[in-house]
Amino acid sequence: MTEPAHGVTLEGIYRARHRLAGQAVRTPLVRSAALSARFEADIRLKLETCQPTGAFKLRGATNMIAALIERHGRDALAAGVTTASTGNHGRAVAYAAARLGVPAVICLSSLVPANKVAAIEALGAEVKRVGESQDEAFAEVERLVRDQGMTLIPPFDDPLIAAGQGTIGLELMEDAPDLDRVIVGLSGGGLLGGIGAAVKAIRPACRITGVSLSQGAAMWESLQAGRPVAVAEVESLADSLGGGIGLANRCTFELVRAVMDDHYQVSQTAIARAMVDILDHEKLLVEGAAAVGLAALAEHGIDVRGETLALILSGNGVALETLDRARTIAGR
């Protein structure tokens, strides 16, 4: 069988699961009685908040580093791995590298708060403070790759990253083989694409529903244009859904195009209300990007009556002041 252009296969996702054994957590899939009653459906919550780093990103980072060691030997990564990220991906790379015995350098701008720097350093990575923007930090990553032989671990646009995230799809199919729909936040496409690749290979009838921000939805705008396009980033409670997909995107654009069935965009108010609802009714602290599935159900009145569906609660990286802001926006 010819490998798809995006490079993500069910076999690759099963290999990723083997690599993740003992490194990342098989997270719970729990039924929400409150949401099931509210939407007249059987609604399950996939708790990626239970990962050691608090988010799904650990799966992809671990798979890529482990696969590179497997293919090329540990010496090939002797110079270390690197990335630029202020949030979940940076923490994931730091954690995975430490667990797998590989040096890691995470590049951050001077604007990143000291508590985030300390959290990454606590995981064993070296932090380089460079410039006053994420772009300047990434320029340092490129220099480390070019001049010091370090290996870039990208946040989403690589088949190994997407396959790692796709292990969530395997778990969904094993724990709820009758799923009718999976609702996933859509940003760079690694999470939705990986989950979709696994689920569609096992249960083609299951719908993959993507959810983006109402503004700054780079992947959705790119799909509409038929090619990767640049979109201005906007401030949002779901900040990890912002950012571009890369004009030279080589994996996730085609992957999302292949597996996503439908798509919704959600407002700040809907995200805020969903974050507060999940905390108040489920007693789960989630970041804005993890709440967009519920936001879409509520804001767009999606008819899921009688369906069995899963919402991906992708991470818990939210500051208490952000939660307070969400309560204010939600009017609660």
**CATH class, 10-55+159-330 region:** alpha beta
User: What are the tens digits of pLDDT across the range 159-190?
Assistant: 999 999 999 999 999 999 999 999 999 999 99
- Nearest residue to 194 via CA among 14, 318, 65, 330: 14
Beta bridge pairs of residue 310? 44, 182
CATH number of 80-149: 3.40.50.1100
128 has catalytic annotation: no
**In this model, does residue 250 exceed pLDDT 80?**
yes
> What is the spatial distance between Cα 89 and Cα 236, in angstroms, rounded to a whole number?
18
User: Mean pLDDT for the chain?
Assistant: 94
pLDDT digits (tens, 9 = 90+) for 212-249: 999 989 999 999 999 999 888 788 898 888 888 989 99
Is residue 1 over pLDDT 70? Answer: no
- Count each helix (H run) and each strand (E run) in the chain, helices first: 13, 10
- CB 95, CB 89: distance < 8 Å: no
- Any idea where the domains of the chain sit in the sequence? 10-55+159-330, 80-149
Average of per-residue pLDDT across 76-86: 91
Instruction: Note if 32 is an active site residue.
Output: no
pLDDT tens for 284-329 read 999 999 999 999 999 999 999 999 999 999 999 888 888 999 999 9
Q: What is the pTM of this model?
A: 0.95
pLDDT above 90 as % of the chain: 82
Q: Which residues contact 328 (CB under 8 A, 6 or more apart)?
A: 272
Q: For residue 182, what pLDDT is reported?
A: 98
For residue 210, pLDDT beyond 60: yes
Quote the CA–CA distance of 223 and 256 in Å, as a whole number: 9
Set 46, 57, 116, 200: catalytic member: 57
